[in-house]
Structure 1
Amino acid sequence: MKSDPQSREKLMTQKTHEQKQRRTRALIAVGAAVSLVAGGTVIALVAGGGDTESNAVKPPSALHVLARPEQSPPQDLIAAGGVAVSGYHTTKIANEADGDAVVTYTWSLYNAAAKRYQKTDWAWVDVAPGMRTAAVLERDLPADRIGMLNMATGKVQRWIKVDKGIGGVQFSPDGKSLIATTYSLNPDGLFKDASYRLNRKKVPGPKPSRTGFYVIDLATDKASFSALPPRKDGPGVYGGAGRQDLRWSSDGKLLWEPAANKAGKVYYNEHAHKSAVPELEASLPSPGGVLSPDGAHITGSFAGEDGQIVSEVLDAKTGKRSALVPGQQLLAWADDDHLIAWRCDPEQCEPGKGEFRNRLLLVGLNGEDTIPLSGFRQAKLRDENRWTPILSDR
């Protein structure tokens, strides 16, 4: 789970494909399962809150989609191809009596038995590939144990106890290990004695307090600790200097955190020794890019000009642009030819109006095939109802 990406959203507008939009709106209005032939790929679309799925015979390349274009935050499962929204969180700042404050995350997880997202009381959450298990931390971070939650029942199957307080967890790409970052203070805490001025107002600020991390083998629950103090030359993963969680590399062999260098990251092995940037990732044209499953493409940055709301997709070998697709930010690959993206409302993207009123969208590399996956989020960037998805392999 992964600074708030919306802080980088672009304030642009786009000429829309009116014919495509009319077809998509017609599909949504049906409120039932249909098949959309897009670029030779059959896409099963479930619109609204219905659970009916298409029984049509689909070719091996078919991309299965569960879309909830009227739901924000979603209540029913959103999915496309091999990726699903396994949960989401909202945030708010809670002021405390002593002048301190804390950034509070409220997590909702998909419950397979109930077939809907359900709000939880966990302080921190990550979901394993396959969406059967979630790692959870209790309130009042740092926590002294990690719960392994059965997502079908909503109950903790077992607890992994540790000696040092944990503030964040993440599953490895294969789901066999956990990285658990440790802190001496609440990484989401805002403290009066670290105050700074924001918009001419003095507000409590974060304190870097990372002490290290555990690598936990989930087959044995054996936890190996390595000390690692906070960095001073890079932002926290979630946008504040207090939270500086370690993350897994894409192949699960190394750990990384943001840094102010060419790669945008600094890598470590599982014993906290600095490592060279992996060869594959060092050759990528975009340090923050996401590789397609077949390794042929990588997501690029926003590339809108003349009022367009588009981002570029690059050839992973050459770094040259291979496609322009609708969206402000490309989040994940549903398959080799389709992406999940954030895109603002084309009619309200002007600065000061609705540049942050965006929705999840499924987009094809041809730049034309689009399916709304969720309803629009609130237009205000700091609105407490703005939700951030957990995108997981399913």
Structure 2
Amino acid sequence: MTPDPHARTAFKVSSSVARPAAESAERPQPLLRRRKPRRLALAAVVAAVVVAGLAVSLARPGGDAQEGPAGVTDVTSVAAHPNQSPPRELIAAGRSAVSAYYTKKLVRLPNGNATGTYEWRLLNTATERYEKADWAWLDVAPEMQTAAVLERDLPVDRIGLLNLATGKVQRWIMVDRSVGSVQFSPDGKRLLATTYRLNPDGLFKDASYKLNGKSVPGPKQSRTGFYVIDVASGKADFTESPAKKNKVIPVGGRQDFHWSRDGKLVWEPGNDKMGKIYYGVTGKRMPAPDTETRLPYPETVLSPDGNLVTGAFVGKGDEIVSEIRNAKTGKRAAVIPGQQLLAWADNSHLIVWRCAPERCSPGGGEFRNQLLLVGLDGKVTPLSGFRTANLHDEGRWFPVLTLR
């Protein structure tokens, strides 16, 4: 989500305004990795955390040995529009689709405050076109029939359940404490809504700080807790969990909770070795699930059959490639084109970001990238057109990838 994350990049005057964009709304997008002289640079496209020790080695002794990919087949149900950026029509491959995308802009307010806003385009499943959606926040459920939406002027006291075919809200879920984000569980049966006293994307004059020698409005931490909501009944259970003043990250106002990959726990960004702090749905601190501690990076994505995991950017020189590893042995299974591996289309194909090879340089060309469908055999199919090379351009779009 949910948009990819969902994932974060700062508005020009904020250090941590964010929206995760994820395959099924459970993880933040990874960072772009920059080449050291002549390598791709680590640049925050939509990243949640930068903490030493996040990368936990998956490989065992001898883990650099190659294991060839097996069972590479042609992916089905591909909808590609390589001449469109931002896209106007459905982009999808196999099990994953771009259910929505957003752009970001800074809105200055008369009183010296400001707010970071998200401008959404949501898929109309009847027309298979993306339509402007005037919501402050949204997430799309697996199977892409329903979106959870929040109205403008966060935080708000109700959550809408919107039909993607009609664009109409079918039902509202009322809450006693105002929410600033919402995310479907991996099975789509529950919602995780983080609650706030203030707009989590707000920037306030009385929290100003110096940026490039100028005083700019800053964020305030106001998180109060989270709801776990049963979608069918609307029953909402609240857990108090205020913003932690001594947190290292994130430093901004948004401190959303997210679902674990299996939907049994929730987590928030933290400074432990996993980069995540886990809790039960009632708020009790829990150890990281074993399946997640064995993954190499917080943004790692498992293949549908659980046999493969996405790995790091491993390009050298002019190579723009990332690795795929065996989930059990940690050994490298393949090296594929791409700098940011977002979602699996099937067990042998992924949806990735890759910059234009002829312009991919640390000077800025690395940000001119497009969505590709890439097979473990290295075959590449463009899915979208190229985004603008300006990382801070308000027209730069970020996809939300959802299981369909």
Equivalent of residue 235 in structure 1, options 237, 243, 249: 249
2:148 is matched with 135
- For 1:353 and 1:224, the matched residues in 2 are separated by 46
2:22 is matched with none
Q: Shift in Å at residue 234 of structure 1?
A: 4.4
Q: Is the 8 A contact 1:88 1:388 kept in 2?
A: yes
Q: Is the 8 A contact 1:101 1:190 kept in 2?
A: yes
1:349 is matched with 360
2:399 is matched with 389
- For 1:377 and 1:267, the matched residues in 2 are separated by 35
**2:347 aligned partner, one-letter code:** D
- For 2:155 and 2:267, the matched residues in 1 are separated by 21
Residue 296 (structure 1) aligned with residue 307 (structure 2) = yes
Q: Is the 8 A contact 1:13 1:346 kept in 2?
A: no
Residue 373 (structure 1) aligned with residue 383 (structure 2) = yes
Residue 201 (structure 1) aligned with residue 214 (structure 2) = yes
**1:388 aligned partner, one-letter code:** F
- For 2:332 and 2:243, the matched residues in 1 are separated by 36
Q: Residues 7 and 294 from structure 1, CA distance in 2 versus in 1: closer, same or farther, beyond 3 angstroms?
A: closer
- For 1:322 and 1:7, the matched residues in 2 are separated by 22
Equivalent of residue 193 in structure 2, options 167, 170, 180: 180
1:335 is matched with 346
Which secondary structure does the structure 2 equivalent of 1:355 belong to? Answer: helix
Q: Which structure dedicates a bigger proportion of its chain to strand?
A: 1
Q: Residues 171 and 40 from structure 1, CA distance in 2 versus in 1: closer, same or farther, beyond 3 angstroms?
A: closer
Deviations 1:244-295 (A, max 9, x none): 1111111110001111111111100011111011111112233321111111
Which secondary structure does the structure 2 equivalent of 1:86 belong to? Answer: strand
Deviations 1:56-102 (A, max 9, x none): xxxxxxx2211110100100000000000001000001111111110
Residue 42 (structure 1) aligned with residue 74 (structure 2) = yes
Equivalent of residue 10 in structure 1, options 34, 37, 55: 34
Residue 263 (structure 1) aligned with residue 274 (structure 2) = yes
Q: Residues 388 and 234 from structure 1, CA distance in 2 versus in 1: closer, same or farther, beyond 3 angstroms?
A: farther
Which secondary structure does the structure 2 equivalent of 1:235 belong to? Answer: coil
Larger RCO of the pair (alpha carbons < 8 Å, separation 6+): 2
Equivalent pairs counted in the alignment come to: 348
Q: Is the 8 A contact 1:293 1:335 kept in 2?
A: yes
Q: Residues 233 and 313 from structure 1, CA distance in 2 versus in 1: closer, same or farther, beyond 3 angstroms?
A: farther
Residue 317 (structure 1) aligned with residue 328 (structure 2) = yes
Equivalent of residue 87 in structure 2, options 63, 74, 89: 74
**Which segments of 5 or more consecutive residues in structure 2 lack a partner in the other structure?**
10-28, 41-70
Percent of aligned pairs sharing the same letter? 60
Q: Is the 8 A contact 2:72 2:376 kept in 1?
A: no
Q: Shift in Å at residue 201 of structure 1?
A: 2.4
Q: Highest CA radius of gyration, 1 or 2?
A: 1
1:360 is matched with 371
**Which segments of 5 or more consecutive residues in structure 1 lack a partner in the other structure?**
15-38, 44-62
Residue 251 (structure 1) aligned with residue 262 (structure 2) = yes
Q: Is the 8 A contact 2:310 2:323 kept in 1?
A: yes
Q: Is the 8 A contact 2:159 2:172 kept in 1?
A: yes
Q: Is the 8 A contact 2:73 2:348 kept in 1?
A: no
CA RMSD of aligned residues (A): 1.7
- For 1:352 and 1:202, the matched residues in 2 are separated by 28
Runs of 4 or more above 4 Å deviation = 11-14
**1:252 aligned partner, one-letter code:** G
- For 2:216 and 2:98, the matched residues in 1 are separated by 34
Q: Is the 8 A contact 2:124 2:166 kept in 1?
A: yes
Which secondary structure does the structure 1 equivalent of 2:77 belong to? Answer: strand
Q: Shift in Å at residue 307 of structure 1?
A: 1.8
1:18 is matched with none
2:48 is matched with none
Q: Is the 8 A contact 1:171 1:179 kept in 2?
A: yes
Q: Is the 8 A contact 2:72 2:375 kept in 1?
A: no
Equivalent of residue 102 in structure 2, options 65, 77, 89: 89
1:283 is matched with 294
